[in-house]
Amino acid sequence: MPPERIPFAKSFFLRGLWSLAAILCVLISVPAKSASGTDPLVQSPSSVVYESQSFIQELGRLKAGLESARQSTETLRAYRESLPPSWIVNAGNRRFEVPTNLLVSQLVKAERQPEFRTIKVKEALDYLDALALETASVSNQASTLPDSARAKLNAILSRPEYAHAMKESWWDKMRSRINEMLGNALMRIFSSVGSQKSLGYILLWIALCAAAVFIAYIIFRRWIRAAKREEMALQSAVVPLRSWQEWVYAAREAAARADYRMSVHCAYWAGIARLQELGALSPDRAKTPREYLAALSKTKRIVPETLATRQQALDTLTSRLEKIWYGYQIATEADFRDSLTQLETLGCRLP
Question: What is the enclosing helix (H) or strand (E) of 256?
Answer: helix 244-256
Rg (CA), the chain: 45
Residue 168 lies in a domain: no
Sheet holding 95-99, edge to edge: 4-5, 95-99, 86-90, 49-51
Task: Give the length of the chain.
Answer: 351
Do 20 and 135 lie in one domain? The reply is yes
Mean pLDDT for the stretch of residues 243-258: 92
For 194, list phi and psi in degrees, rounded to 5.
-65, -25
Do 16 and 128 lie in one domain? The reply is yes
The CA distance from 344 to 279, in Å, is: 17
The CA distance from 97 to 87, in Å, is: 6
Residue 58 lies in a domain: yes
Do 124 and 250 lie in one domain? The reply is no
90-118 burial: b if 16+ Cβ within 10 Å, else e: bbeeeebbbbbbbbbbbbbbbbeeeeebe
Do 17 and 117 lie in one domain? The reply is yes
pLDDT of residue 24: 46
Domain boundary among 116, 143, 170: 143
Do 242 and 129 lie in one domain? The reply is no
Residue 177 lies in a domain: no
Residue 334 has pLDDT above 60, yes or no: yes
Return the bridge partners of 89, or none. Answer: 50, 96
Mean pLDDT for the stretch of residues 86-94: 79
pLDDT of residue 152: 67
Amino acid at 2: P
Do 240 and 139 lie in one domain? The reply is no
Residue 207 lies in a domain: no
Q: Which of 31-45, 240-254, 290-304, 319-333 has the lowest mean pLDDT?
A: 31-45
Give every CB contact of residue 77 below 8 A, 6+ residues apart in sequence. Answer: 111
Give the pairing of strands 49-51 and 95-99.
Answer: unpaired
pLDDT tens-digit series, residues 161-188: 555 555 666 777 888 888 888 877 767 7
Please answer whether residues 317 and 310 qualify as being in contact, where contact means their C-beta atoms are separated by less than 8 angstroms.
Answer: no
Chain CA centroid to CA 38, Å: 59
Distance set, CA 133 to CA 84, 119, 127 (Å): 21, 21, 10
Residue 83 lies in a domain: yes
Do 130 and 243 lie in one domain? The reply is no
Domain boundary among 101, 118, 143: 143
Residue 335 lies in a domain: yes
pLDDT of residue 200: 63
Q: Which domain holds residue 119?
A: 4-143
Residue 335 has pLDDT above 90, yes or no: yes
Residue 186 lies in a domain: no
Residue 111 has pLDDT above 80, yes or no: yes
Return the higher-pLDDT residue of 153 and 331: 331
Total domains present in the chain: 2
Residue 136 lies in a domain: yes
pLDDT of residue 106: 85
pLDDT of residue 137: 77
Do 133 and 259 lie in one domain? The reply is no
Mean pLDDT for the stretch of residues 76-97: 84
Do 131 and 21 lie in one domain? The reply is yes
Find which of 84-88, 191-195, 318-322 is predicted with most confidence, using mean pLDDT.
Answer: 318-322
Domain boundary among 114, 143, 172: 143
